[in-house]
Amino acid sequence: MATINQVKQLAEADTPLLFFECVLPSGEMQYWSSHSMVFNGQPYSARVLKHNLFDLQLSADDAMDGISQLSVVLANADSAISELNTEIGLKGTQLTVYFAFADLPSGTITTESTTLFRGVAGDPDEITEDALTLTFTNKLSLQRIPLPEVRIQRSCAWNFPASPDQRAEALNGGSLGRYSRYYRCGYSADVAGGVGNLSSGQAFTSCDYSRTQCIERGMFSRDARGNVTKRFGGFEYVPSLITVRTAGATTTHPSPLQENSAKYNDPVPLVYGTGWIKALIIFSRNDGNLTHMEALLSMGTIQGVMKVVVNDIEIPQAVPGHDMTATGWFS
């Protein structure tokens, strides 16, 4: 078999191909390329529509003469990639990209192969009717970990523990404590002292990361045993325009438009210490008398909120049993 250096010098060379070998977080393997081809004994499906692997960045910010992030556009007209993202999650997928020359008419590889890129995937950047864009961060990059790591999204961002060992780790984080990948979800219904609901006496082994299934598993607010959970990590918007009736009025009218400052795919803020922050409004609605708002403060555990100011007016904290309609309140 000829070498790559020999073939690339020829006046008429075979077709250069890239082969994308992916290991999903569940361990399942996926094989993608721009053409249907058998490589290293594995059939690669024609999924890759576009990539930027050959956009070298000499003297880049991360001091690499290669590419720090690989962006891949995958064919998704059949929603196969979307299903993988929903059922398993593409974030954390490990990618290895191989390069080789191939003879397309015969479907054979004609040269040796070489590895061009190794990286780890983040969440999908864009999902359309016929394509899905996924970005992989180079394992050799000096900027491997993006911060903040969690984005505002409709589905939950936490990893669901599917096996007994994972559920045992989700209870208290195991040796990693709260830094365990399963600790944020925390579903551990079949573990002594755990939380969550069972299904016909058995623990759930999967989750589609929706609010509905989170409620079913007892992790949205409380489980069947009364344990407080509140682990859902998604944000669901409501219509900003509803029909309301102002106090004392005899007719209804559309509620004033309220702008939600939080947008999908925006990063969730990180806050350390004590300080003033401009919170992201993830839900706001006016009922004709009061404006109800939910604000996103930051990731992680918050010790408390000391003061809330809206439009230069300080809003007092809610006092149980008191009518605070005139001043408003926060809780």
**Residue 95 · residue 21 · CB < 8 Å:** yes
Asked if residue 110 lies in contact with residue 7, where contact means CB atoms within 8 angstroms, the answer is yes
Q: Which of 178-182, 226-230, 296-300, 317-321 has the lowest mean pLDDT?
A: 296-300
Query: Per-residue pLDDT for 59 more than 80?
Result: no
Whether 275 shows a pLDDT value over 90: the answer reads: no
Per-residue pLDDT tens over the stretch 216-246: 999 999 999 999 999 998 887 655 567 777 7
Distances (CA, A) of 175 to 171, 180, 194, 232: 11, 8, 17, 23
Over residues 249-274, the pLDDT tens digits come to: 778 877 766 666 667 778 888 888 88
For a pLDDT cut of 70, what percent of the chain falls above it? 90
Q: Are 152 and 264 in contact (CB under 8 A)?
A: yes
CB atoms within 10 A of CB 15: 14
10 CB-near residues (< 8 Å, 6+ apart): none
DSSP string for residues in 117-145: EEEEE-S-SEE-SSEEEEEEEETT-S--S
Does residue 52 contact residue 67 with C-beta atoms inside 8 Å?
Answer: yes
Element spanning 44, H or E: strand 42-46
**Mean residue pLDDT across the chain:** 85
How much is the pTM? Answer: 0.55
Note the pLDDT tens digit of each residue in 68-112: 788 999 999 999 999 998 888 898 899 999 999 998 988 899 999
Contact 275, 145 (CB under 8 A): no
pLDDT per position as a tens digit, 124-163? 888 888 999 999 988 876 555 667 778 888 889 899 999 9
CA separation (Å) from 235 to 145, 157, 209, 221?
A: 23, 10, 11, 14
Report whether 143 contacts 165 (CB < 8 A): no
Alpha carbon distance, N-terminus to C-terminus of the chain: 71
Instruction: Compute the distance between CA of residue 124 and CA of residue 128 in angstroms, rounded to an integer.
Output: 11
- Give 129-186 as a DSSP string: SSEEEEEEEETT-S--S-SS--B--SS--SPP--SHHHHHHHHH-GGGGGGSTTTTT-
Number of H helices, E strands in the chain: 4, 19
Tens of pLDDT, residue by residue over 2-19, are: 888 888 888 888 899 999
How far is residue 218's CA from residue 226's CA, in Å, rounded to a whole number?
A: 9
Q: Which domains can be identified in the chain, with CATH numbers?
A: 4-138 (2.30.110), 147-236 (no CATH), 257-331 (no CATH)
Is the four-CA dihedral 159, 160, 165, 169 of positive or negative sign? positive
* Residue of 38 and 142 predicted with greater confidence: 38
The sign of the dihedral angle between the CA atoms of 33, 38, 39, 41 is positive
* Distance, CA of 277 to CA of 23 (rounded, Å): 39
How confident is the model over 298-303, as a mean pLDDT?
84
